[in-house]
Amino acid sequence: MLLTITCTPPEGAAWPASDLGFLLHKNPGRVQAFEQSYGIAHVLYPEASEQRCTVALLLEVDPIRLVRGRSRNTPDFSLGQYVNDRPYAASSLLSVALGSVFRTALRGRCELRPELARTELPLRVELPAVPCKGGPEAARKVFAPLGWEVVATPLPLDPAFPEWGESHYLRLELSGTMRLADALSHLYVLLPVLDGAKHYWLAADEVDKLIRTASGWLGEHPERAWITRRYLARRQSLVRTALARLAEVDDVDPEQLDAVEDTGESNGSADPTEASAVHEAATRTPSLAVARRAAVRAALHEAGAHRVLDLGCGEGVLLRELLSDRMFTEIVGVDVSMRALNIAKRRLRLERMPERMAQRLTLLQGALTYTDARLRGYDAAVLMEVIEHVDPPRLGALERSVFGSAAPDSVLVTTPNSEINVRFEGLAAGEFRHDDHRFEWTRAEFTAWADGVAARYGYAVRYVPIGTPDPEFGPPTQMAVFTKRTTNDEKGAA
């Protein structure tokens, strides 16, 4: 079982191709072997020059050892354990090896060459034998949306007897320009998906692993439902949890947003026998994050807001959407995290933005729990998925600074509806959808809070559900739309 990754830096690059060794934390001058539960993973570099560097990951699989780890009551005690394709075909084992041998690279970390870890590199991946039941089309549909040029060539069942036709193995060649960590994460998730057969037991932390590895790209992949189902070996409850959590994660490159929203409708792979409500929801409707931004934007339009604050703007996904909408003449993104603001700057390409657009946008660092005179006098403020990140004892301070001091005409607050969490298996009772959430509220808890705020600060409030609602537990996201009761005349005085 063999995988090679070749990097060819563009002409005039400031770094030699052999720096790939730093990114992978594996010295190009050495052949290394890593003991795995199912055999040995070798890492070697067939070529490591300034112009071109190829790393090979070679798995020597011991089919006997592969089954030995299994529990006694394994049903498939049969010749299949001894005679199978595992030693030759790229599969989930290769993915397991990638995850252990290149773990740090997969996470995008490299202390010696941090900038190179963030750089998009021209890469070429070759796999001489990939089991792929769906044929070349399946390989294309999962890799192409991620920016890979895909050449998938079916291998004959037996080269000596071409009339026997093709096997379900492919030679797969992928070329693309992307961060090494992204390339590894694509392979890590998608090789077992193509294979379709899982060779290790599905543990409960499998959902976490998937979210951690693929959250940057899978949430917006047009085939996310199919990929998730296959990755989790069709365990419906886990699949549902994973899709719900992926819809929450929204790390999509704003550059790709327009394309993504166009593909929200795609449903190329629906398998009618397996259609489930979740699958339908995930493939036919836009992701929750997309629906949330659409609802916020619609409410801003309805309020007639032109000058808006995005409080807790994070990495700027909503900012980009507001910028593309001429309705909004002045947009201010505020966040306490400098890191998030820097990512926002980079993703919005602030430096290269046309001046007329750049003039409409301001990014400010600030904490919403302190009053800030810079935030006064705007038409509207959005707090999208922010309040649940604030410690409950500090919520009063946030209310004072947003509703008391900044006091825009409208305030939109979105937050998860915790009632629906019971639908996410894998979330133990009382657990939250994100590690950083300080609380998640039921609909009743949210309205109690928002009604109180509205009464204390002179706003009217209405509630808007976001996302496909559960008949019993309501929508996944809830939004409160506050409208100031006083007339605009007082605003100038504030």
Give the count of beta carbons closer than 10 Å to the beta carbon of residue 209.
14
Residue 388 or 409 with smaller CB distance to ligand SAH: 388
Binding mask 387-426 for ligand SAH (x = CB under 6 A): --xx------------------------------------
E strands present in 326-443: 330-335, 361-365, 380-384, 410-416
The residue from 335, 399, 409, 419 that contacts ligand SAH (CB under 6 A) is 335
The residue from 8, 104, 177, 337 that contacts ligand SAH (CB under 6 A) is 337
Task: Please give the angle made by the CA atoms of 148, 217 and 230, to the nearest 5 degrees.
Answer: 85
Binding mask 5-34 for ligand SAH (x = CB under 6 A): ------------------------------
DSSP, res 31: -
Is residue 57 within the footprint of ligand SAH (CB under 6 A)?
no
Work out how close the CB of 383 gets to ligand SAH at its nearest, in angstroms, rounded to a whole number.
7
Residue 183 or 411 with smaller CB distance to ligand SAH: 411
Work out how close the CB of 324 gets to ligand SAH at its nearest, in angstroms, rounded to a whole number.
16
CB-CB contact of 40 with 33 (8 Å): yes
Closest CA to 315 of 383, 378, 252, 247: 252
Q: List, edge to edge, every strand of the sheet that includes 166-178.
A: 32-36, 39-48, 53-61, 2-7, 121-131, 166-178, 149-156
Closest residue (Cβ) to ligand SAH?
Answer: 314
Is residue 336 within the footprint of ligand SAH (CB under 6 A)?
yes
The residue from 152, 313, 375, 453 that contacts ligand SAH (CB under 6 A) is 313
Residue 182 or 250 with smaller CB distance to ligand SAH: 250
DSSP, res 406: I
E strands present in 78-183: 121-131, 149-156, 166-178
Could you tell me which stretch among 1-9, 16-24, 135-143, 383-391 binds ligand SAH (CB under 6 A)? 383-391
Is residue 181 within the footprint of ligand SAH (CB under 6 A)?
no
The residue from 23, 106, 243, 386 that contacts ligand SAH (CB under 6 A) is 386
Task: Please give the angle made by the CA atoms of 23, 25 and 31, to the nearest 5 degrees.
Answer: 120
Q: Coil, strand or helix: which one is 463?
A: strand
Task: Please give the angle made by the CA atoms of 478, 482 and 486, to the nearest 5 degrees.
Answer: 175
Size of the site for ligand SAH (CB under 6 A): 17
Work out how close the CB of 398 gets to ligand SAH at its nearest, in angstroms, rounded to a whole number.
7
Is residue 331 within the footprint of ligand SAH (CB under 6 A)?
no
Is residue 385 within the footprint of ligand SAH (CB under 6 A)?
yes
Is residue 369 within the footprint of ligand SAH (CB under 6 A)?
yes
Is residue 440 within the footprint of ligand SAH (CB under 6 A)?
no
Residue 317 or 363 with smaller CB distance to ligand SAH: 317
Is residue 333 within the footprint of ligand SAH (CB under 6 A)?
no
First to last CA, the chain: 69
Closest CA to 325 of 310, 341, 346, 340: 310
Work out how close the CB of 350 gets to ligand SAH at its nearest, in angstroms, rounded to a whole number.
17
Pair type for strands 330-335 and 166-178: unpaired
Q: Which uninterrupted H or E stretch holds 478?
A: strand 477-484
Torsion sign, CA atoms 422, 426, 427, 433: negative
Residue 218 or 368 with smaller CB distance to ligand SAH: 368
For residue 235, give both structure tokens: 């365990």
CB-CB contact of 312 with 292 (8 Å): no
Residue 315 or 379 with smaller CB distance to ligand SAH: 315
State the burial class of residue 159 (Cβ atoms within 10 Å of its Cβ: 0-12, 13-18, 19+): exposed
Is residue 215 within the footprint of ligand SAH (CB under 6 A)?
no
> How far is residue 110's CA from residue 289's CA, in Å, rounded to a whole number?
30
Binding mask 245-264 for ligand SAH (x = CB under 6 A): -----x--------------
Q: Using CB under 6 A as the criterion, which residues of the chain lie in contact with ligand SAH when the complex forms?
A: 250, 312-314, 317, 335-337, 340, 367-369, 384-386, 389-390
